[in-house]
Amino acid sequence: MNSMNDVFTNEVLQELFPAQRADDFFEALFGDANEGAYDISLSFQGHDEQSNSLHFNLDLHERPGRCLACNLTSGLPDVFSRHKVINIEGLVTDVEKKLDGKAKCGAWKLGRTQQPKKSLHSIPLQIDLS
């Protein structure tokens, strides 16, 4: 298989998790997309050959004039794992399609929210391959 970095380019990541999804999430949550404190993007962190798993992050980027507080993002892995708009299950299905039959996606899990910097929080997504 080609390098996973060749598969999961920035263009593909934006296709897998469009920027509009954050607004749709806040629209469903608050009734107004402008109430959201962050934008959400998908980043590829790599392929762990030993565990044969893909690693992504759901990156939460603080919106101008908003506050991205730990107490607001620490519970998000549980929310994101079952929210219909975020649709992690569908995201995993779409990731498998990008693998073009060379691997299948199995179990997935969201890790605990991390805070690489004040204006960026990340939720790790691990997808096991078979």
Q: What are phi and psi of 2, to 5 degrees?
A: -60, 160
pLDDT in tens, 37-62: 999 999 999 999 999 999 999 999 99
Element housing 81 (H / E): helix 76-82
Q: What is the pLDDT of residue 130?
A: 92
Confidence of residue 2 (pLDDT cuts 50, 70, 90): low
The Cα 27–Cα 57 span in angstroms is 22
Higher pLDDT, 5 or 70: 5
Extents of the domains making up the chain = 4-129
Task: Map residue 93 onto helix, strand or coil.
Answer: helix
